[in-house]
Every structure is written in C-alpha cells, then in structure tokens.
Structure 1
Amino acid sequence: MPLSSVTPAQYEDLLAAKVARVSELLAPCDVPQAQVYTSPSTGFRMRAEFRMWHDGDELDYVMFRRDDPKTPVPVREFPIACETIQRLMPALLAELKPNHTLRHKLFQVEFISTLAGESLLTLVYHRKLDGAWETEARHLRSQLRNLCGDLSIIGRSRKQKLVLGREWVWEELDIDGRCYRYQQYEQAFTQPNARVNIQMIQWACHQASTLDGDLLELYCGNGNFTLPLAREFDQVVATELAKVSVRAARENMRENGVDNIQIIRLAAEEVTQAMNGEREFRRLADLPKPLHEYDLRTVFVDPPRAGLDAQTVQMVSRFETIIYISCNPQTLADNLHELGNTHEVKQFALFDQFPYTEHMECGVLLCRKNQSSSAANTQRE
C-alpha cells in the first residue's frame, strides 16, 4: 500500500466504494445487505515492518512499490500505525544512526504493539550477533522503554535469535464486557487491526448466541475467536497446524480460565480426513472422548487467503451452521457457490481491517436449508 493512498479525509468514500465492490462480487451468492464495521482512519495497525536502507551515515525505514520493487521509498511518517509504534519509529532511528554496533548490517525492523501497552521490537541482521550487540541492545531497550513502557527486543540473524525480555506480548481485548488476555508471539499470525478485530469477534459471538451443542473450529490460531466463542457452546474442538500458535492458544486458555476447549494440532485437511473416518491421528487421542462422540453442530472457519479446499468444503457442508470469516472475498465467493447447494446465507458482514487497500474482511453465517434451528431465525441487523 503506497502511503500516498492514506487519505483520512476520504476514508468514508473509499470504504463505500470497497463495500459496493465486494457486495457486487458476492451478490450471486444471495447474501443479504452487509453490516459494515469501520476502522479508525489512522493509528489502527498494531504491527509494522520495514526494510532498513543504509546510505553512508544515513539510515532510513523504506518500503518498495509493486511497480518499482528496486527503488526504496523512505518512510518519514507512518500514520496508519498505532500511536506507540509512531512514537517508537523516530526514537529508534535516532538511537540506531550513531551506533555502529546496532546498525551494522541491520536489514529489517519489525514492530508489534498492543492495546494493553506492551511492545516488541525485532531487529533482523545479515551478520552474527555477539556480546557487544547484546550490550548495546540492552541499553537501547532501556532508552526506548521510556516511550512505551513494557518493551522487549529480539535480535535475529541466520540460525540465531537473542531475546531481551520476552518473545511475545500480552494483548487485552474487551469482548462484550469481558476482558480477554492473549499471548501474541513474535512472527506468529495475529490480526493487525485490534479495534476491528474486537468487532469481528463480537459479531461472531452474536451469531453463535442462539446455537446449541458443540463447536468445531478450523484455523484457530492463538485462540483469538476461540476463547470468546467458548462461552456460547458446551464444548469446543479447535484445530491449528502452527506449533507456536497452538502453544499460545493453550497458554491463553489457562490465562483466561477457559476449560471447555480442546486444542488439537491438525491441518484443516487432516481434520477433514478424521471427520470422514479416512485416517486415525494419534493427536486425537488427547481428546477426553472420541471425536465422533462430540455434538458438533456448528463449525467456525477463518481460513487463509486461499479459502477452503474442495474436501473441506464438503466436510463443513454437513454441519447445521457455518460461521465463516474470510480475508479474501474472491475465494469466499467460490466457497459460497458450493455451499449454496446445502446452505443459505443468513448474515453478512464486512470489516474494514485494512483501510486504504482493496482488502476487505468478510463474515457470513450460513444455515442448512429448511433448517428449523433458532439460528435460522436470527434477525438481520
């Protein structure tokens, strides 16, 4: 996204155009009118990363245009980042420029911050890090903590990772009056727009509020949706492939005192094989009872941009209710085309997770056709 496209005064018009574009794309899927959830027009990103450009004594954060990937564009301001990252960026640069140990062969800088007031800074190098680097990095951490409170620093190079503080931050999200604490690891996926993320979670919980039985969740990540959704179901079986996310999800369960979730490390394709009885997985032996004994009536999915593969679409089509969060309207449209044979869309929401871009996060509630459950009667807002 070129920074020239960040025009807060035009935010509403740009959003309206994006809503119209996505609504037109999904119109053949017979979706109702979208509920639209807006983002703050500035200061909304809790993550940012930049290449570092060295030119003599000068040092700059840079980005590259898609149509000119070899020409660096210096980043003097980054208004879409949260206030903490905006404070850290110039202060870090001022500390790095005169410090040969910290800037030597520095390749990339990554920022993570949270609404809870914690931050993590990763410095990526094309050289081995030594004791001198660690000494200077500890001093850097002390200097920057005056700006952001709880700050950790990680130094990375080939086959090397030095952690000063922690390799994660705590995030706190207020979901329908309850505060949830999430452990977010460095270089693991988290939703970048925290305030829109809150709206997405609350929307999903509202869709589930009239449902019964147990929930199957695919792509659960660190438990972002899982923990609040668990209030609406008897039991939750949540699956995720990434080891670091599984570790975080289990820690988040303990931190929030949620005890009706089972986290299983499986890919979506493996879950489909298990549900179809095609394969047995030793990891499912950790469940307190066999998978087929759960009362799984609802499935929640939040897949990557590729959407659901054909086999997973067939598997989820057997559920009474599907709650689908999508980061790619095109693959959502493809999946809805197939799911339309068995289900109808009862709710449709658009979340502006990425202002000033063409990206739009979507949410749909699908109920089995001719289903008499209470979910089918959920009122459209």
Structure 2
Amino acid sequence: MALHRVNTDDYQQQLDQKVARLREAYASYTNLEPEVFPSPPSHYRLRAEFKMWQEGGRVDYAMYKQGEYKKPFVIEEFTVGSERINELMPLLLEAINNSEILRKRLFCTEFLTTLGGDALITLIYHKQLDEIWEAEARALQEQLGVPVLGRSRKQKIVLDRDYVIEKLDIDGRTYEYKQVEGSFTQPNGEICRSMIQWARSCCEGSKETDLLELYCGNGNFTIPLAEKFRNVLATEISKVSVNAAQENIAANGVENLHILRLSAEEFTQAIDKVRPFRRLKDFDLDSYDFSTILVDPPRAGLDTDTCAMIARFPRILYISCNPETQLENLAELTKTHKVERFAIFDQFPYTDHTESGVLLVKK
C-alpha cells in the first residue's frame, strides 16, 4: 500500500495482524495478553520528508518505491500526514513554483508539526543559499505564517527559529517540549502520548526511589515520569537533544531531574567504575537508589554490556522501536526477570513496523 494514500477501512485488520504476529513472537517470554494502543487511522504522522521532482520548469512532491529511485511518483495528497502538513503542502508548492529562486535546485522539503498545530518547513538545496534566496524565503515565511529554514551543503539558514513547541496533555497536566529540526522526535503524536501514559502507569508506587533512563532524547519520557520518583538521572549522547532536554526541564518546572551527555556504553563503564568521566565529577552514582531503569534504544537494541548492566535493576521498563532486537535482548533479560506487562503501540500504521513495551520485574 502506498503510504501517501491509505484506505482507513483496512486499519483494524492490519492492526489485528500485527498484534497476532507479535503475540506469537513474544510467546516464549510471556503469555500475557498485550495492551494494544491503536493509532488514529489517518493524519497521524507529525513529520514528513519529500523529494522534489523537477521537470518542465515545475517542481512537485515525490516519493520513490524502495530500489526504484529513478521512478518517482508525484504526491498530491498525504493521508498519513498531520492535518497541518496537508494544509501547508499545496500552499508551499504554489509559492515555490511561482519563484524561480526558491524552486531552482531544490531537492528536498521537510515538514515538522505538532499536535497543537505548530509547524516548521525546511527547504534543502543543491546550491549555496545567498541573500537573494534569503529575501525570497522571508517573503515565503510571511506569506505562510510558518518558520522557514534553508539548508545546503555545510549551510543552515534560520530565518526565525529551528524548532517547534509541542504540548502534550498527560494525565491532567500539559507538558511542553522544544523539538529541534534535525533531532529525533516521535513521529506519531497520539501514540507518543499513549506510550508516556503507559510508562507512567508502570511506575506507580516508586516515589521513594530513583529512576535511571538511558537514551532520553529531549526528555520525552523523562519529564512526565519525574514526578513518579524521588530523583531521576538520565543520559543522552546527542548534544542537540541534551540542550533541548535542559530547556524542556526548565520549561516544565522539573527540579528532581538531571541529564548527562553520555552514551549507554559510557554510562555502563561509569557505573562499573571502569573509568572516570569528567561529566560525572559532581554526581555520586552510589547515592542513588535506582529501583527502575527505562531504556528506549535505537533499532539495533541494547549492546551486550548495557544489557548485562540493566539486568541488575529490580525493574526494567523497555520500550522498543524494533521488536526483533527487543526479543534478542529478552532472551538474556528473562533469565533474571519476568515480564509483568506487555504493550503494543501502533506507531507506524500500514507498515510492518511496530513499537513494543515490556515491564520486567526481578524474579
């Protein structure tokens, strides 16, 4: 099925197939019936990237089938994209086609939006951007009422701002997130909210203990979970994400959370006292009483050393964008822990991809 246009009547059937497949895949580790969190059937994706097809003095949004990069098909609608993306697409395209300066050598356009309707447009070129381009882009920005950002090789021109502000209502409170262009953000806002609420429900009764989180990004999970614990220590390797997380901590008034710029592998070395880190000189890791560790690793899953390290914790909250690698890790983790909760999040409808979550408790 082409993802730019989907038949929403098929949604429940494709979700049921995913759930059946994952239930069978996880059967070796749990007989729990999964908690299933469906996506909105359409307009669920908050970010999108389109190649720009240049032909006959005109540019159009285009996509390619995998392995067929010389056979684009023009995109006139994007059913899976947010309402805001679909609103902006024709307006932007018309403006670009009315300006040779904006159109010439444009090869990619990116949209970043939020559930609240904030938006950012990035135009990416095979040319250096000059003052003439900037003047045209500023006029475009004023016309659309949306921040525009220009990129080319070794060049980034921010006309207004390079981020959007997301606001998520979670369990009666609104959390605010700065989401920076080019950094990781959850693509499906409603599923993101469901994952946060599920994670919070897994952490009830932990107020007298501490939380450790690896791969914390911009604080997506960390900030709403902070009130469930006495103290929270979180790590992230991306400098951009760490900076955004620090701003998000301040914006949400969280005072019991500290972010460290360390990879999961580096933190494992630190907690095992393999080598010291200057970034940890003001932190006494032994003073924390970690009852729970939260991990949301990249698609490759947890490396062997990190997997062994987290197995020491009483409770492991493991959210994964790749159930296959999570299952590989569960082969080790279930030697010491049992699966207490199992969740399926339909982050990417109409594809084979699914996010999964497990709460593991020490045997």
TM-score range, shorter-chain basis? over 0.9
How many Å separate the matches in 2 of 1:106 and 1:358?
31
CA contact (8 A) 2:5 2:80 kept: no
Task: Report the secondary structure of 2:281's partner residue.
Answer: helix
In the alignment, is residue 262 of structure 1 matched against residue 258 of structure 2? yes
CA shift at 1:6, angstroms? 2.0
CA shift at 1:5, angstroms? 7.0
CA shift at 1:3, angstroms? 2.8
Q: Quick one: percent identity of the two aligned structures?
A: 52
Task: Report the secondary structure of 1:22's partner residue.
Answer: helix
CA contact (8 A) 1:26 1:329 kept: no
How many Å separate the matches in 2 of 1:180 and 1:366?
27
In the alignment, is residue 202 of structure 1 matched against residue 175 of structure 2? no
Query: Aligned residue for 2:321?
Result: 327
CA contact (8 A) 1:346 1:367 kept: yes
CA contact (8 A) 2:346 2:355 kept: yes
Query: Aligned residue for 1:148?
Result: none
Query: Aligned residue for 2:109?
Result: 109
Matching residue within 129, 150, 153 for 2:148? 153
CA shift at 1:51, angstroms? 0.6
Query: Aligned residue for 1:243?
Result: 239
Partner amino acid, structure 2, of 1:277: K
Query: Aligned residue for 2:287?
Result: 293
Query: Aligned residue for 1:219?
Result: 215
Partner amino acid, structure 2, of 1:239: T
Task: Report the secondary structure of 1:29's partner residue.
Answer: coil
How many Å separate the matches in 2 of 1:183 and 1:88?
21
How many Å separate the matches in 2 of 1:188 and 1:118?
16
Query: Aligned residue for 2:178?
Result: 183
How many Å separate the matches in 1 of 2:117 and 2:133?
26
Task: Report the secondary structure of 1:3's partner residue.
Answer: coil
CA shift at 1:23, angstroms? 1.3
In the alignment, is residue 351 of structure 1 matched against residue 328 of structure 2? no
Query: Aligned residue for 2:157?
Result: 162
CA shift at 1:31, angstroms? 4.6
In the alignment, is residue 279 of structure 1 matched against residue 269 of structure 2? no
Query: Aligned residue for 2:89?
Result: 89
In the alignment, is residue 3 of structure 1 matched against residue 27 of structure 2? no
Deviates more, 1:182-191 or 1:1-10: 1-10
Query: Aligned residue for 1:374?
Result: none
How many Å separate the matches in 2 of 1:92 and 1:190?
23
Query: Aligned residue for 2:42?
Result: 42
How many Å separate the matches in 2 of 1:64 and 1:367?
44
Say if 1:347 and 1:174 are closer, same or farther in 2 by CA, change over 3 A.
same
In the alignment, is residue 305 of structure 1 matched against residue 299 of structure 2? yes
Task: Report the secondary structure of 1:184's partner residue.
Answer: strand
TM-score, normalised relative to structure 2 = 0.98
CA shift at 1:107, angstroms? 1.1
Partner amino acid, structure 1, of 2:71: T
Task: Report the secondary structure of 2:138's partner residue.
Answer: helix
Partner amino acid, structure 1, of 2:134: E
Structure 1 segments (4+ residues) deviating >6 Å: none
Query: Aligned residue for 1:365?
Result: 359
Task: Report the secondary structure of 2:123's partner residue.
Answer: strand
Deviations 1:136-195 (A, max 9, x none): 1111011112xxxxx211100111111111111100000100000000000100000001
Task: Report the secondary structure of 2:275's partner residue.
Answer: coil
Unaligned runs of at least 5 residues, structure 1: 146-150, 370-381
CA shift at 1:68, angstroms? 1.9
CA shift at 1:25, angstroms? 1.1
CA shift at 1:39, angstroms? 0.6
CA contact (8 A) 1:5 1:356 kept: no
Deviations 1:28-59 (A, max 9, x none): 11251100001100010000001101001221
How many Å separate the matches in 2 of 1:171 and 1:54?
33
